[in-house]
Amino acid sequence: MSGRADAPMTTDRAIRERADALLAAMTDEEKAGQLTQYFYFGFMRDVPEGEGDDLHQPNQPGIVEAALSRGEVGSLLFVRDPAETNRLQRLALEGNRHGLPLLFGFDVIHGLRTILPVPIAMAASWDPAAVERAQAVAAREARAVGIHWTFAPMVDVARDPRWGRIVEGAGEDPYLGAAIAAAQVRGFQGEGIGAPEHVVAGPKHFAAYGAALGGRDYDEANPSDYELWNTYFPPFKAALDAGAGNVMTAYMPLNGVPATGNPWLLDEVLREEWGFGGWVVSDANAVRNLSTHGFARDLSDAGVRALQAGCDMEMAITDPAYAHLPAAVGDGRIDAATLDAAVRRVLEAKLRLGIVDEPLVDEERAREVLSDPAHREEARRAAESSAVLLRNEGALLPLDIGAAQTIAVIGPLADSKRDTLGPWCFDFDLDETVTVLEGVRAKVGERATVGYAPGIRPAQRTFPSMFDMFPGNAPEDPPHFDDEAELRRAAELARAADVAVVVVGEWQNMIGEAASRSSLELPGRQLELLQAVAATGTPVVLLVMNGRPLDLRWATEWVPAILDIWYPGTQGGAAVANLLFGGAVPGGKLPFTWPRSVGQVPMTYGHVTSHEPEKQDRRYWDEASTPLFPFGYGLSYASFAYDRLTLDRDRITAGESIRVSVEVTNTGRRTADEVIQLYVRQRHGRTARPVRELKGFERVTIDPGQTRTVQFSLGPDERRYWHPLEREWVIDAATFDVWVGGDVTATLGATFDVEGASTA
Ligand code: BGC
């Protein structure tokens, strides 16, 4: 019997029975195939034989197709053209005796065709509902082209901005990170696995990849147990509680044991303690790399140790370690039940998704979905709500179109479509991508003159990027570029203008995976350009295109207005123009502490004091110990007053909650959003406690003169922490300070006591 059923069955029991029947009919080779996921790089066919490197193999698609015809592939990644997903799906179905379809996975990180702001930007919106809507758009487009599963959200807490992947996550804070992680899972998955127009979410990279030493991508991570449980795990737990169906392992060794071969991590924590029932996939080539780590003896041993640790599926380019699993079952290094348990998880995912019964995708409908104008609207709104206003001296912003007759837009990033989109997107449409220059031009129309000068050539990486195999990834060095003449031309354009809008930042290939940096300075001659423009005396609005904090010390002293626009996506320029001219009001807040310079990193707000307060401020003799901008910071075109912070009680027991309320008034003249943030400090406890911890936030829209009352609940969940000696979650009896305000420096405070300690 083949296990192929006539009608869709979706109840848990029906799915289990169907998976049983399939398992009973499968050979070990077929089972290992279900646990194998290949990249499918169709474009590699065009690479001449002998010219590829290990990522770049001309025969790679052929190897995958041969495995498909043997029925030995469970999943593919990187295919995103609906006609191509259908072609490959048919090959898989023909090759597989049981009619088992492929799962198509892909990195739908911030949109598929409609590119949303990068994840760190979406986190800066502090608006989980907006993040959920945005990722639902991404899911809809992905599913329409035949993708079933996204390798997202990336929920790695990142505390060292030298690490390029900070751009893919939600920043430094576990509480904000957990809220954004859960929102993304809800957006991707909808009602759950199998929901129409949605995809399975795979939070990654489990775990503590963001703790890479020195911020060097892939380097080892040695977080303490305290940090692991209190900082790095919570966003994963939140993503799983929101129903995420998949988890991806991390590349690096975690406290000595590679995450992909780590039974404590994948089995004890993930499955036993957290009850995760979905399937685990390795990061790319992470199983074979178990031998690179000096951990596995050879490829076969790597496969055995990863599977035994709890890694169900291997992501490979060619030559998978899991192809050796049947031999390992044969000689007793793996027992059949371990293999079956992993295969069952993959089969159940396919059954739940409904693709066993409906494996193909409607190509015509895909075209319609991808061109849905509502998706562009969502992208524009997301970009508007994620921008963070860092400085606005003399209320230079918003600009008045009538008053600014001549506008100079300056900097190569101001008119770079590819860079406006940010890293981690592959299926974009450059024609419909709006740069800052285009957005400003469209916005002002005939009402002002807009001139443009790049001023300098694009900066280049010192070493190439692994993404350079995708066309257009590295910025082009313009031919015949006269550096000195162009710099002068930019300054002259600025001098003749009423206002200069200068765009600086990092080119998108300078951030993301394998894009760690040893410096946070503006790359290339950007600071020089900015200084030349500022020296003209024309007021400067600085737009920062980035995914990590950059060294803006000079700018914060000399430039009146600074707006962080991140990599704002397809509609970035339109959103930025709305923000510049007041059609939208910035309301984003920083999801990380912005250091003054690279020497301060890692720098987080939630640190512990070990000396008397005055000594805290003098940790460096050559630099202040404060950040350039604090966590949670962001200005508005309005202003807000916080008042009447009240607690419903001043004394509770460990299991009880306290209700906090605060009144926030818009004291400005424009309707605007404010992110109201609640921080606590436990004054004493069973461990040293951080100076502040974020434990609540809400983004609200407030009209001028209007007062909104916002309430928060501080319950046991907000007060528990994992104790490294007791190896337990604990809640202490202690005195707590509470502050509510617009960033971590909030001063409006109150105090309450918790009586009766407990484990929780
Ligand atoms: C990255 C993952 C990604 C995978 C597939 C890896 O190099 O670390 O985050 O999902 O590639 O593209």
Task: State the closest ligand 1 atom to the C-alpha of 514, by its place in the atom list counted from 1.
Answer: 7
Confidence of residue 54 (pLDDT cuts 50, 70, 90): low
Could you tell me the pLDDT band of residue 2, with boundaries at 50, 70 and 90? very low
pLDDT at 100: 97
Average pLDDT in the 663-680 region? 98
Find the CATH number of the domain harbouring 671: 2.60.40.10
pLDDT of residue 6: 42
In 280-304, which positions are buried (b, 16+ CB within 10 angstroms) versus exposed (e)? bbbbbbbbbbbbebebbeebbbbbb
- Does 487 map to a domain? yes
Q: Are residues 644 and 543 in the same domain?
A: no
Q: Is the pLDDT of residue 274 over 50?
A: yes
- Give the tens place of pLDDT for each residue, 181-215: 999 999 999 999 999 999 999 999 999 999 999 99
Is residue 217 lining ligand 1, measured as CB closer than 6 Å? no
- 366 lies in some domain: no
**Across residues 649-660, what is the average pLDDT?**
96
Q: In angstroms, rounded to a whole number, what is the distance separating the alpha carbons of residues 314 and 310?
A: 11
pLDDT (mean) for 437-463: 97
> Which residue puts its alpha carbon closest to atom 7 of ligand 1?
284
Of all residues in the chain, what percent carry a pLDDT higher than 70? Answer: 96
Within a domain: 2: no
Give the separation between CA 126 and CA 385, rounded to whole angstroms: 9
**Nearest protein Cα to ligand 1, atom 11:** 284
Q: Is 122 a member of any domain?
A: no
Three-state SS for 257?
Answer: strand
Q: How many whole angstroms from 284 Cα to the centroid of ligand 1?
A: 6
Q: Are residues 467 and 393 in the same domain?
A: yes
What's the pLDDT band for 1 if we cut at 50, 70, 90? very low
Mean pLDDT over 529-554 rounds to: 98
Q: How many C-beta atoms surround the C-beta of residue 553 within 10 A? A: 15
Ligand 1, atom 2, lies closest to the CA of: 283
At residue 531 the predicted structure's pLDDT band, cuts being 50, 70 and 90, is very high
Q: Which helix (H) or strand (E) holds 157?
A: none
User: Do 522 and 654 share a structural domain?
Assistant: no
If you measure from the C-alpha of residue 239 to the centroid of ligand 1, how many angstroms do you get, rounded to a whole number? 18
Average pLDDT over residues 87-116: 97
Q: For residue 339, how far is the Cα from the chain centroid?
A: 32
Q: CATH number for the domain including 489? A: 3.40.50.1700
Task: Assess whether pLDDT exceeds 90 at residue 11.
Answer: no
pLDDT at 610: 83
Residue 210, in any domain of the structure: no
107 in ligand 1 pocket by Cβ < 6 Å? yes
* Domain presence at residue 717: yes
Per-residue model confidence as pLDDT tens digits over 745-756: 999 999 999 998
Cα gap 302→306, rounded to integer Å: 6
- Given 592, 622, 653, which residue is the final one in a domain? 592
Question: Does the pTM of the predicted model rise above 0.85?
Answer: yes
User: Residue 288: is its pLDDT beyond 70?
Assistant: yes
Let me know whether 409 and 554 are in one domain.
yes
Q: What is the mean pLDDT of residues 628-651?
A: 98
Q: Name the band, by pLDDT with cuts 50, 70 and 90, for residue 330.
A: very high
What is the average per-residue pLDDT within 592-610?
95
Q: Which residue is closest in CA terms to ligand 1's atom 5? A: 284
Q: Say if residues 657 and 716 touch (Cβ distance below 8 Å).
A: yes
pLDDT number for residue 619? 82
* C-alpha atoms less than 13 angstroms from C-alpha of 261 in its C-beta half-sphere: 26
The pLDDT of residue 613 is 63
Q: Does the Cβ of 513 fall within 6 Å of ligand 1? A: yes
Q: Are 475 and 572 found together in one domain?
A: yes
Atom from ligand 1 closest to the CA of residue 151: 10
Q: Is 721 in the pocket of ligand 1 (CB under 6 A)?
A: no
Give residue 109's pLDDT.
98
Ligand 1, atom 6, residue with closest C-alpha: 284
Clarify whether residues 490 and 406 are in a common domain: yes
Q: What's the chain's average pLDDT?
A: 95
Residue 477 annotated as catalytic: no
Residue 410: beta bridge partners? Answer: 453, 502
| Whether 514 and 417 share a structural domain | yes
Domain with 521, as residue range(s), is 383-592
Based on the domain organization, do 406 and 504 belong to the same domain? yes
CA of 424 to the centre of ligand 1 (A): 10
Tell me, yes or no, whether 526 and 419 share the same domain: yes
219 Cα–ligand 1 center, Å: 15
How many domains does the chain fold into?
Answer: 2
Q: Which residue from 77, 283, 424 has its CB within 8 A of the most atoms of ligand 1, so it is best to mutate?
A: 283
Select from 592, 623, 656 the last residue of a domain.
Answer: 592
Do 507 and 647 reside in the same domain of the chain?
A: no
pLDDT for 55 equals 66
The amino acid at residue 552 is L
Of 532, 566, 592, the domain-final residue: 592
Ligand 1 centroid to Cα of residue 138, in Å, is: 18
Mean pLDDT of the region 105-122: 98
Nearest Cα residue to atom 4 of ligand 1 = 284
Instruction: Tell me the CA distances in angstroms from 391 to 23, 98, 563, 583, 648, one per residue in order.
Output: 61, 62, 7, 18, 36
Q: Is 156 in the pocket of ligand 1 (CB under 6 A)?
A: no
Report yes or no on 12 lying in a domain.
Answer: no
76 within a domain of the structure (yes/no)? no
Distance from residue 78's CA to the centre of ligand 1 (Å): 10
End-to-end CA separation in angstroms for the chain? 50
| Same domain membership, residue 544 and residue 669 | no
Active-site residue, from 283, 301, 340, 419? 283
pLDDT band at 474 (very low <50, low <70, confident <90, very high): very high
Using 50, 70 and 90 to split pLDDT, how confident is the model at 239? very high
Please check whether residues 497 and 393 belong to one and the same domain.
yes
Q: Say if CB 129 and CB 107 are below 8 A apart.
A: no
